[in-house]
Amino acid sequence: MGRKEIFTGSAVAIVTPFNEKGIDYDAFENLIEFQIKNSTDAIVVCGTTGEASAMPDGEHLDAIEFVVNKVNKRVPVIAGTGSNDTAHGVRLSVEAEKRGADALLLVTPYYNKTNTKGLINHFEQTINHVDIPIILYNVPTRTCMNIGLPVLDALAKYDNVVAIKEASGNMSFTSQVAREFGDRYDIYSGNDDLIVPIMSVGGKGVISVLANVMPKETHDICQLYLDGKVNESKDLQLKLLNLINDLFIEVNPIPVKTALNLMGFNVGDLRAPLYEMEESNKAILAKEMKACGLI
């Protein structure tokens, strides 16, 4: 079959708008159209930023299907279907493929930590049940598990494992991945403050929280770099660095969902255990949003 590139540029890790009945589909449609109008290169639905871990399976899969249908092939739709329960993740992944997802994002197990062989097996269970491309998701600050080089080596034989979302924040490790496997896996930054550094070692773009509020600018950081305009890309990354940092002043997605509400997108509340921002932090975020012309 051969390895398939899913996207280059910026994929938004889109929030899930909620209301008292569940998903607010009108608000969701507005977000999707805002993203596509402003040059987003792909949409990741039901990832960390989408609060997938607080969504029942039916709602989770309905959200994926809704985004697939509304996007209607205008950009790739990548479904977050990873789980700390391997069998559960397999079921979600198989169903997401049936509902039209273009690719899957698979996180390492969280809480149920395993060893290297167990991690390889965890991913293989899903790999062997789906045909669409898979992005591995490395975010050890949340899961306390790192996708090490031996795991990447073991999974390199599978054609449908095409990329890694590298959110360790460890540029030395990311550079090792690029050195050893850059010709085998596409690398996407999982940190908005490291888009340019990761692209400098061969990364193809970012799976972004920032893109929820600044999709065109996040796309531009990546596209400028891909077009060889490295200084312009770097300058835009640095210009937005304060906002990037303020979007993580509390745990994601608390600040970005707050930001979207401040912008008038009416994405609703966060699901427990996530909670509304501290007023002092909200003021810091709002000040920077004003400086960036968002409110």
Domain extent listing, the chain: 9-229
Which pLDDT belongs to residue 143? 86
Which pLDDT belongs to residue 1? 43
Q: Please indicate whether residue 157 is annotated as part of the active site.
A: no
Closest-CA residue to 193 (of 228, 227, 242, 146): 242
Which pLDDT belongs to residue 203? 97
The residue with tokens 């012309």 is: 293
Q: Please classify residue 202 by burial: count the beta carbons closer than 10 Å to its beta carbon, then call 0-12 exposed, 13-18 middle and 19+ buried.
A: middle
Q: pLDDT band for 3, please (50, 70, 90 cuts).
A: low
Mean pLDDT of the region 172-182: 97
- Cβ contact 13:210 at 8 Å: no
Mean pLDDT of the region 104-128: 95
Lowest mean pLDDT among 15-19, 105-109, 139-143, 225-229: 139-143
Give Rg (Cα) of the chain: 18
Mean pLDDT of the region 144-155: 94
Q: Which of 70, 98, 157, 165 is catalytic?
A: 165
Average pLDDT of the chain? 96
Tell the CATH superfamily of the 9-229 domain.
Aldolase class I (3.20.20.70)
Which amino acid makes up residue 238? L
Q: Which of 137, 185, 188, 225 is catalytic?
A: 137
The pLDDT tens digits for 180-234 are 999 999 999 999 999 999 999 999 999 999 999 999 999 999 999 999 999 999 9
Q: pLDDT band for 144, please (50, 70, 90 cuts).
A: confident
Helix (H) or strand (E) holding 221: helix 215-226
Q: Please indicate whether residue 185 is annotated as part of the active site.
A: no
Three-state DSSP at 101 gives: coil
Mean pLDDT of the region 117-140: 96
